[in-house]
Structures are given as structure tokens and as C-alpha cells.
Structure 1
């Protein structure tokens, strides 16, 4: 699995986030599950395909995606709108 950056402390189940799958597009949604306990390196799995991704995110467009720390940012604009 690729190196993952440390996730900001605000990324928790229920947080509004932006998912970055490539440099040009982002999608907004809500974190619905944290699979940190299940994430392990590819070496520990004995394979390098089908890695477990840490976060399950329900996107605003209705899709469910599974992403790693490096693909996720807290949606600070949503936090400002909520008065945080």
C-alpha cells in the first residue's frame, strides 16, 4: 500500500470531508465508518491486491467509497457554515 499521511484529528465518523481521487476532482461527503483496526500493510496480507481502505464515505451524490488517509481532507468550508 502507498505511504499514508497522518489524518487530522477532526476526521472521525460523522465528519464532513472532501475525497480526492485525482488532482483535478474532489467529492464531498460524510465519513460513516473507520476501519483502522482492519487496515494492514500488503506484506501482512500476503498479497498486494485488494487492500483494505480505512474510511467509508457516503458521498453527497449517493455513492459509497472507501478511501485511505491520503485521499481525505476535512471539509473546512462545511465546518465554517456550521459555526465551528
Structure 2
């Protein structure tokens, strides 16, 4: 959502630098990574119950990590990077 000045009111928006923990088979608990949000799929996120399955849920944000990987996450998975 944007305000009158075109600035995002949400902490997370396309272009934001974010931090998240990514699962890693070699590291218990995962690895903390940083990257940039490149897409918001808010309009495509649906309730798991409405699709009749609980696997492969749609994630809201696409993030290009600094190491070159593309990952997907929800709001609760992200924090704003300093």
C-alpha cells in the first residue's frame, strides 16, 4: 500500500532489502541471508483450505538473495535489513 507521496506504508515492499533464514541441509536451523524483494504476489495468495491441499502453498514475496538464489517467503519470514 502506498501513501500520497508514493512511499510504501509497509515495511516490506518491492525494492526493500530484507533478511530471512533459509533452510540449509548442512546447518541446523538454516542460514540467515539478505536480498531484495523483486515481486509481490499478494493477489495470488489463497487460503490453503480453499484449494483443497496443504502442500505447495503460494508465498507472497519473491526475493533475489545476494548470493544469486531466488526464494519465496511470507511476511512472517522476513525482517527489514539494515
Classify the TM-score, shorter chain. 0.7 to 0.9
**TM-score, structure 2 normalization:** 0.76
Aligned length: 69
Indicate the structure with greater helix content: 1
Who wins on radius of gyration, i.e. which is larger? 2
Q: How does 1:34-45 map to 2 (within 5 A)?
A: 34-45=40-51
Which structure 1 segments of 5+ residues have no match?
1-7, 78-84
**1:73 maps to 2:79:** yes
CA RMSD of aligned residues (A): 1.7
**TM-score, structure 1 normalization:** 0.74
Moved segments of 4+, more than 3 Å? 21-24
Which structure 2 segments of 5+ residues have no match?
1-8, 24-28
Indicate the structure with greater strand content: 2
